[in-house]
Amino acid sequence: MSAGRVNIAGVEVSTDHYIDGCRVASKERFLDRSPIDGAALAEISAGAAAEADQAVAAARKAFPAWAALGPEGRAPILRRLAEGIKERVADLSAVETVDNGSLLSGNQHRVVPRAALNISYFAEHALTLRGHTIDSPEVVNHVHYDPAGVAVLITPWNAPLMLTTWKVGPALAAGNTIVIKPPEWAPLTCSLLADIAEKAGVPAGVLNVVQGIGEDAGAALVEHGDIDRISFTGSTGTAKLIGTAAARSITPMSSELGGKSPFIVCADADLKAAAQTVAGQYINAGQVCLAGTRILVEEKIEAEFLGLVREAVSHMVVGDPRDAATRVGPLIHPEHFERVQGFVERARSDGAEALWGGARHNQGDLFFQPTLFAGAKIDQEIFQSEVFGPVLTWNTFKNDDEVIAVANATKYGLAGTLFTSDEARAMRIASQVVAGTIWVNCFFVRELAAPFGGSRASGIGREGGTWSFDFYSDIKNVAVRKGSFKH
């Protein structure tokens, strides 16, 4: 293995930063391993203050020309970027799976095609923001979406390409230039994204990638004095650090953070569909921010529903994420494995009972059994804290008021899932559960035009549709007195 370029699953990937249209290497490097078998994949350039300075300067220099292109000038380039991602679905999927252990079939059929859409959707949406006016008695208010400047985009390892493009699309479409800081446990697809951007004709300096450890490269970027936006997806703890840096320079920050989302099953629901969806919460070993990890079941159907869930979970194949039949792959890293195991051990010692799972899976070092804890009290850690692994809790409720109170009894508010066949009941519960998204009789449907984000400790701000442009733009009102121009 050498620095420069490595071959991952038959795909050539650069191990270096991408700054001002060039590959830039650092002397310091960090080792990236595959969670599937622990194989060493690449020694990646580890950036810090010098690389952050270089990348922000490049983005600053490229900003005026990119901003001046306007949405019409940027759209063809961004369409080519989206096409470039589509052309490399197989490559991006294979590399993402080896790098972070996510399901290959999911990457091929949903995640990577969606990453392309993340770019093309916002390129088209930017075209619709022109000509927005608000009439008032004395003036016409012309709303301008001016590009904000240099945006720093920081993402986690569980879905690096998907989550990065979800920021890259609106940030570039709105006319900003960007510096991406990929996650150090899965840095490779963001590197490929830079190659694709270059081929698509994204001008030098418009899209930069600084690889590195969060506390070094990430911190240097968010503490940099010359940035205009920080968009962060990751843990609530890291958001507090980044938020502190953002506050010092009054840099607007959007954050999409952790969750401990309720999954509510009413007695009148389609129980088979609900049980299948509960089993689906183990996909990608539960390393999904939006997962409904607290299963709340109406008491009178508990026994029947538990049987259906047990049956559905028995079909969840744990194994190599490259196999089409696999549903549950590995945890990302030995440190994360220990963290998950720690939660499980403490749940047991707090008195919760593992109805299934609760230990390492025989597939390999980083594989953990799908696990369900019953009997956890609301104030216990396993009910309150995000595990980010294949670990769910199971509790019952007697009535809607009780389930709403229990659903809202954590510090989080990212998402919620509700199964019921009673529309009025669905709307009543959905309106009272605190969350950025509530899915009713479905799960993980994410419409790009709809708002997305978290409440409470799950985040600040909303993205998606126009909400993304509200964040990535400096919105200006030009109020023109009616009849004040000579004609």
Binding footprint of ligand NAD on the chain (CB under 6 A):
154-158, 163, 181, 183-184, 214-215, 218-219, 222, 233-235, 238, 241-242, 256-259, 289, 386, 388, 414, 454, 459
Residues 270/421, Cβ–Cβ less than 8 Å = yes
Alpha carbon separation from 466 to 114, 449, 462 (Å, rounded): 18, 7, 10
| CA angle, residues 414, 276, 459, in degrees to nearest 5 | 5
What is the smallest separation between the CB atom of 266 and ligand NAD, expressed in angstroms? 26
Q: Which of 184, 190, 289, 463 is catalytic?
A: 289
User: How many other β-carbons are positioned within 10 Å of the β-carbon of residue 35?
Assistant: 30
What is the smallest separation between the CB atom of 306 and ligand NAD, expressed in angstroms? 27
Residue 430 CA to chain centroid, in angstroms? 23
Q: 209 or 312: whose CB is closer to ligand NAD?
A: 209
| CA angle, residues 436, 278, 288, in degrees to nearest 5 | 50
Q: 55 or 222: whose CB is closer to ligand NAD?
A: 222
Q: 34 or 396: whose CB is closer to ligand NAD?
A: 34
442 is catalytic: no
Q: 181 or 294: whose CB is closer to ligand NAD?
A: 181
Of 188, 250, 266, 201, residue with least CA distance to 7:
188
Residues 286/387, Cβ–Cβ less than 8 Å = yes
| CA angle, residues 72, 74, 80, in degrees to nearest 5 | 115
Q: In what order do the strands lie in the sheet with 292-298?
A: 353-356, 371-374, 391-397, 292-298, 261-265, 415-419, 437-440
What is the smallest separation between the CB atom of 213 and ligand NAD, expressed in angstroms? 6
Packing angle of the helix pair 112-127, 160-173 (nearest 10 deg): 10
Q: 235 or 408: whose CB is closer to ligand NAD?
A: 235
Q: Which of 96, 184, 256, 298 is catalytic?
A: 256
What is the smallest separation between the CB atom of 201 and ligand NAD, expressed in angstroms? 27
Strand, helix or coil for residue 323:
coil
Integer Cα distance of 59 and 384 in angstroms: 41
With a CB cutoff of 8 Å and minimum separation 6, the contacts of 97 are 9, 36, 103, 104, 107, 321, 322
With a CB cutoff of 8 Å and minimum separation 6, the contacts of 324 are 104, 105
Residue owning tokens 């126009």: 466
Residues 44/32, Cβ–Cβ less than 8 Å = yes
Q: 293 or 396: whose CB is closer to ligand NAD?
A: 293
Burial letters 232-271, b for 16+ CB under 10 A, else e: bbbbbebbebbbebbeeeebbbbbbbbbbbbbbbbbebeb
What is the smallest separation between the CB atom of 150 and ligand NAD, expressed in angstroms? 16
Residue 348: both structure tokens together: 């047991």
Q: 84 or 259: whose CB is closer to ligand NAD?
A: 259
Burial letters 343-357, b for 16+ CB under 10 A, else e: bbeebeebebebbeb
What is the smallest separation between the CB atom of 294 and ligand NAD, expressed in angstroms? 14
Q: 217 or 308: whose CB is closer to ligand NAD?
A: 217
What is the smallest separation between the CB atom of 458 and ligand NAD, expressed in angstroms? 6
Helical (H) or strand (E) element with 144: strand 139-147
**Four-CA torsion 102, 436, 82, 188, nearest 10 degrees:** -30
190 is catalytic: no
- Residue 360 DSSP one-character state: B
With a CB cutoff of 8 Å and minimum separation 6, the contacts of 214 are 154, 181, 183, 184, 238
Q: 358 or 413: whose CB is closer to ligand NAD?
A: 413
Where in the sequence numbering do the catalytic residues fall?
Answer: 256, 289
